[in-house]
Amino acid sequence: MKYYRLWVLAFLLKFIGSAWDASYHFKYLFEEYSIPHIVNTMGFALGGILLFKEWRHSTYMDGFSRNLITIGYGLFLIGIPLDFTYHIAYGIDLTTWSPTHFIYYIATDIMIFGVWHGYNLYTWHTVPTWKSMHTWFMMFLLECLLFPNMQQENGAISYDQYIHGKSIASKEILELISDPASQIFGGIPVYVYPIYSVLMVGLLTVVTIRILRDFTIPFMGALLYICLRFIGKAIFAAVEYPTSYVPMTIILIPLAFLLFRRTNWLAGLIGSLAYFLSLFAIHKSGILITPPLELWELAPVLLIGILIPVINAIINPHLALRKNKQPA
């Protein structure tokens, strides 16, 4: 188990580094020895060592899981020169939504999925529970899938500070801003935020339940993610770094599936409805600063919330890995 605990540490370092980096670029443009990048690279390097160890002597995971992680590493390494070329062509982009940044997210998703797949097979003789490392891997995958939203979640607070003349961004960042309502939110239309959130959270929840046959792991993974985001927010606030809105209402999506104890359209509908309306209520009441929202976005959010479990039911059930709920 120590091997997989080290993977948890590696992904945790990547999580800390990327969250720090997202906050960092709302205050500073660029610094040569960017510490958030170094923390992220430490996680990447630790994972690389663990992967190399497995290539030398296959001990803790099957060949396919090892290959999946290697694909993730390969894709990430391809992303670096492509991102550099993108900057040559278009200049520095301060958004999580750039096409070359998505290569990093997809690559990290593949790495996490590979490790999680390996862990699931390594612990095949035990029933998956939320007390195991499944919850950690669920949380890491959720964090990586939702990472682009950090632009909107950090941007909401930064934009509010900017329009009230209380921005904490550095002079070099403020000089770049010509169209704050667009630039601070990465040039992405406002409707992307809730639609993307419900798509990623709903999809990950349903797929996790389908593979592990456990309704608690997605809920606890989302809860762990929210707790860590709040800890991060408290630390950033303490050191006067830009903070972000914590997407706590996403918890209602896995909670609906947990309460219904089945992945049907009704659980999808209730979860996505509760997610959006609670977020909209927070937005309208002004209790917290959230990314911008419009009420009409409820329609696509509900549609996606319903479609995910429906499509899951249509797809051949034999594709799911079966792991019966029996005592070990």
Partner 1 sequence: MIPLYLFHVTAVPHSESLLWTFLTCNAFVVISGIVFMYKLFTQKKVKIAGILFGMALAINYILIAIIGDPFDLLG
Q: Which residues bind partner 1 (CB under 8 A)?
A: 29, 32-34, 37-38, 40-41, 63-64, 67-68, 70-71, 74-85, 87-95, 97-99, 104, 176, 178, 182-183, 186-189
Decide if 258 contacts 223 (C-beta within 8 A). Answer: no
In the complex, minimum distance from the CB of residue 128 to partner 1, in angstroms, rounded to a whole number:
25
For residues 147 and 15, is the Cβ–Cβ distance under 8 A? no
CB of 241 to partner 1, least distance (A): 19
Minimum CB separation from partner 1 for residue 178, in Å? 7
Provide the minimum distance between the beta carbon of 63 and partner 1 in the complex, in angstroms, as a whole number.
Answer: 6
Task: Please report how close the Cβ of residue 168 comes to partner 1 at its closest, in angstroms.
Answer: 19
Rounded to whole angstroms, the Cα distance separating 220 from 230 reads 15
Q: How far is the CB of 80 from partner 1 (least distance, A)?
A: 5
* Residues 205, 208: Cα–Cα separation, whole Å: 5
DSSP string, 191-220: THHHHHHHHHHHHHHHHHHHHH--SHHHHH
Q: Which is nearer to partner 1, 148 or 221 (CB)?
A: 148
- Closer residue to partner 1 in complex, CB, 61/206: 61
Q: Residue 261 is encoded by which pair of tokens?
A: 């104890």
Residue among 97 and 130 whose Cβ is closer to partner 1: 97
What does the alpha-carbon distance between residue 165 and residue 149 come to, in Å, rounded to a whole number? 24
Q: How far apart are CA 308 and CA 294, in angstroms?
A: 22
Q: How far is the CB of 317 from partner 1 (least distance, A)?
A: 24
Using the 8-state DSSP alphabet, how is residue 61 labeled? S
Apex 111 CA angle, 107 and 116, nearest 5 = 145
Q: C-alpha angle 309/310/312, rounded to 5°?
A: 60
Q: Is the dihedral of CA 160, 164, 165, 168 positive or negative?
A: negative
Pick the closer one to partner 1 by CB: 47 or 221.
47
- Phi/psi region, residue 247 (left: phi>0; alpha: psi -120 to 50; beta: rest), is beta
C-alpha 315/C-alpha 179 separation (Å) is 45
Tokens (6 digits) for 309: 């479990």
Q: Which is nearer to partner 1, 37 or 323 (CB)?
A: 37
Q: Are 42 and 12 in contact (CB under 8 A)?
A: no
Containing 125, the helix (H) or strand (E) segment is: none
Residue 103 beta carbon to partner 1: minimum distance, rounded to whole angstroms: 10
Between residues 183 and 216, which has the closer beta carbon with respect to partner 1? Answer: 183
Continuous H helices in 32-62: 35-56
Between 63 and 317, CB nearer to partner 1: 63
